[in-house]
Structure 1
Amino acid sequence: MLARMTFSAAQAVVLGPGGLVGMAWLFGLAAGLRDEGVDLADADLIVGTSAGAIAGAALASGGDLRRLAAPPESSGPWHRPDPDLMARVRAVLGDSGLEPAEARRRVGRLALTAPTIAEEEHVASMEYLVGAGGWPQRAMLITTVDLDTGEPVVWDRASAAPLARVVAASCAMPGAYPPVTINGRRCIDGALAGGSHPHLAAGAKTTVLVEPFGVDSGDVLVQGTRTTRVVPDDAAREAIGTDVGDHTRWVPAFEAGLRQAPAAAGRIRLPLS
């Protein structure tokens, strides 16, 4: 293993949405980066949305990411959302005639009647992935959307909400997973209100933006912050495939993240050195 690289203050890591398979790629990439001496958990600030919230919380827990090289065992068949319902969700979100908050409220109402796993089962699965511990000492922001208002809600350590419950809400895509109640608020997937939310890292000296859904890697400026953007390479995109809910692609996606890590580590070191 290479000498460990320490992130200084004012350095942020932003982890974006990616579905089940994109999350596996994130786990593999982060595990491989650790092997290269770059631990994303050392950033001064971690921002996580949906799959990125799961990966960020797992990173911050300090556990062995390689335990997530394969999907958790299921006591029954893997839940697959109703494709017709998901098509309705996409149609509402893509309706240019609706204000964004109204579109989010409408898909939130769809989520209330969708046939999904139980809320507490969803939260328990997040506890397996991120651990049952509390929030990390370092700054972490996790995004959700209030189901009733359609407005984004950002949670942190001061929110006095269980970490696994907040993570479960952040990845509660309407139609696929149930809304999650946090401190009396019903919340759904944070990606609905702005993708990866890199603006939450505004003010950081440098930012590493990791986006499983991204297609164009490179260094960019996000609200004046120098940002190194990492997305799946060609091999990883092939491993992830087009159905990000296909659990059979978890292992190939994780391994693709591992293979991509050395090249990504070189790019991350340059702006942070």
Structure 2
Amino acid sequence: MAPTRSLVIDDPSPDGLAVPRDMSAGYGDGLPVGLCLGGGGLWFVAWQVTYLNELLGAGVDLSGADRVVGTSAGSIVSSVLEAGNIKRLHGELRVLARIPKLLGVLAPASNFSPSQERAQEMFWSATDADPDTVRAIGHAALNADTPSAATMRRNLGAVLAFRRWPSPALHLSAVDAYTGERLVLTDRTGVSVPRAAAASSAVPGLFPPQQILDRRAMDGGLAGTGLHLDLLAGARRAVVVQLTDGTDPDLPSQGGMTQSPGDAVAELEALEASGTKVFSRMPEKVDIERLMDPTAVPDAIAMAERQARADVLELRTFVA
């Protein structure tokens, strides 16, 4: 019997959304190929879209993965990938990159209220994903004076250009802002893709938590590394696309965003220890200060094109 593409666990929460983080649970057992697209702001949306489009043009179509896990920026890109619209979005990004002000609809305002600054500071400085830490950030996010949740959904809806869940393979991560539980949103959840992606992308203090059934859900990056590789553990092969593994000497090394130094590397090693062969890729260089800067998008596009061309042959063999 072929593995189920949409995640089902033996003891789900009452609404079926809360999935405990557990690298030993075997959530990905039997899957031939998994794909993880991590978070990293507007800049990483552009990088991922360009990277995937360049691969697609060379005959490597990662939308065929048996499970696709998307978080924050990766939730947007994975949704577009599974809908078969990567080429369209890439073309739009190239045009919009020449007019950065138009890309600004996906970036937050730069003038923040005290309540927004408080939530952001708590998130950026958090070096662990303990339940108490995540709940405290969530409560600050719920109380932050952000733009409306409807505005975020509307903007993402315009980018995605579709509402229905494109594939049972698509799994978007989020975090319950009140309980701190990790949520996994799929075609079984019963919400639109723009709403699910808006929840997964709701950075505390920048964007508002979204209503998902009877929960308020925020950015999936608040669960440790934000990669959620346990959802792929046990798969035969996995392609992992992440912003950074924390080893770049030019980036802050003290941790933050609910992770400690070394967490991302340890999670990748745990994925490999589960028996999964891993292909991992990161951008050549990242400027954390410009992740939400529309003027940085052209650099992301050029970098991703170079890296994708260099990876085509290896990836074609890896996913075959």
Q: TM class, shorter-chain normalised? A: 0.7 to 0.9
Which ranges of 4 or more aligned residues in structure 1 deviate by more than 4 Å? Answer: 71-78, 215-220
- In structure 2, which of residues 93, 101, 112 is the aligned counterpart of residue 68 of structure 1? 93
How many Å separate the matches in 2 of 1:149 and 1:247? 33
1:227 aligns with 2:278: yes
1:249 aligns with 2:274: no
How many Å separate the matches in 1 of 2:107 and 2:93? 19
Cα distance, 1:76 vs. partner? 11
How many Å separate the matches in 2 of 1:81 and 1:244? 16
Cα distance, 1:60 vs. partner? 1.1
Name the aligned partner's letter for residue 90 of structure 1. Answer: W
Q: How many residues matched? A: 257
Distance 1:101 1:215, change over 3 A: closer
CA offset digits 1:209-263 (Å, max 9, x no partner): 0112336699961522111001112xxx15x554312221122212211221111
Contact 1:46 1:141 in 2 (8 A): yes
Name the aligned partner's letter for residue 131 of structure 1. Answer: A
Aligned to 2:208, the other structure's residue is in SS state: coil
Structure 2 unaligned residues grouped into runs of 5+:
1-30, 249-264
Structure 1 unaligned residues grouped into runs of 5+:
1-8
What is aligned with 1:43? 65
What is the percentage of aligned positions where both structures have the same residue?
A: 30
Query: Taking structure 1 as the reference length, what is the TM-score of the superposition?
Result: 0.85
Cα distance, 1:124 vs. partner? 1.2
Cα distance, 1:270 vs. partner? 2.8
Name the aligned partner's letter for residue 68 of structure 1. Answer: L
1:176 aligns with 2:206: yes
How many Å separate the matches in 2 of 1:184 and 1:103? 22
Aligned to 2:313, the other structure's residue is in SS state: helix
How many Å separate the matches in 2 of 1:77 and 1:192? 19
How many Å separate the matches in 2 of 1:114 and 1:191? 18
Contact 1:36 1:261 in 2 (8 A): no
- In structure 2, which of residues 162, 167, 170 is the aligned counterpart of residue 140 of structure 1? 170
- In structure 1, which of residues 54, 72, 75 is the aligned counterpart of residue 76 of structure 2? 54
- In structure 1, which of residues 163, 186, 199 is the aligned counterpart of residue 230 of structure 2? 199
More strand by share: 1
